Amino acid sequence: MTASPDLGAPRTASPELLRSVFRQHAAGVAVITARGERPVGFTATSLTSVAAEPPLLSFGVATSASSWPVLAGTDHLGVHILGEHQQELAATFARSGADRFGPGTSWRTGPEGVPLLDGVLAWLVCRVVARIPAGDHRIVLAQPLLGDPAGPGRPLLYHQGRFNALRD
């Protein structure tokens, strides 16, 4: 057994250390959408299944994000699991100032007015349960109401600062 190093007094890691460590963590890629005056959305790699009973999920969103004002007040949102064929879609929803719902994005209005992206691996329409302060972010806790898990393809991953496909 290896002894743990003496870390001394408690301290906080730098944002750079946290980013560097999490670049080693492969994550699935999702797009979160909501209806506002205009539809909003962003790419998320922080999507987590929280509980099965009742079904709950969570994701983090920066309060500085352009989507946050709509997400802060909406009752319903969409969660879309992207496929490896959707790297450009992921990049569009991650890019600041991009026309995310422009001509290059195929979508429709779904239940509760939630914007639903076409061609994704899976989607959910969720009811927002809570918005929990977490530093410069909010953790959004949501309860899935309905969805479709049967889209085509394999999942898109985010690793080392890039979108990647699974390897066989």
pLDDT at 16: 87
**75 vs 13, residue with greater confidence:** 75
Predicted confidence band of residue 9 (pLDDT cuts 50, 70, 90): low
pLDDT digits (tens, 9 = 90+) for 95-154: 998 999 999 999 999 999 999 999 999 999 999 999 999 999 999 999 999 999 999 899
Q: What average pLDDT does the segment 32-44 reach?
A: 97
Give pLDDT, residue 47.
Answer: 97
Residues with Cβ within 8 Å of residue 166, at least 6 apart in sequence: 84, 154, 155, 157
Domains detected in the chain: 28-150 (2.30.110.10)
Per DSSP, which regions of the chain are E strands? Answer: 27-28, 30-34, 40-44, 48-52, 55-62, 76-81, 107-109, 115-117, 122-134, 137-148, 156-159, 162-165
Q: Does pLDDT of 2 surpass 70?
A: no
- pLDDT for residue 55: 97
Give the N- to C-terminal CA distance of the chain in Å, as an integer: 34
Amino acid, res. 73: G
Q: Residue 19 — very low, low, confident or very high, per pLDDT cuts 50/70/90?
A: confident
* Predicted pLDDT of residue 12: 84
What pLDDT is recorded for position 23? 84
In this prediction, residue 141 carries a pLDDT of 98
Q: Write the CB contacts of 64 (distance below 8 Å, at least 6 apart in sequence).
A: 136
Rounded distance between C-alpha atoms, residue 108 and residue 89, angstroms: 15
Q: Is the predicted pLDDT of residue 79 greater than 60, yes or no? A: yes
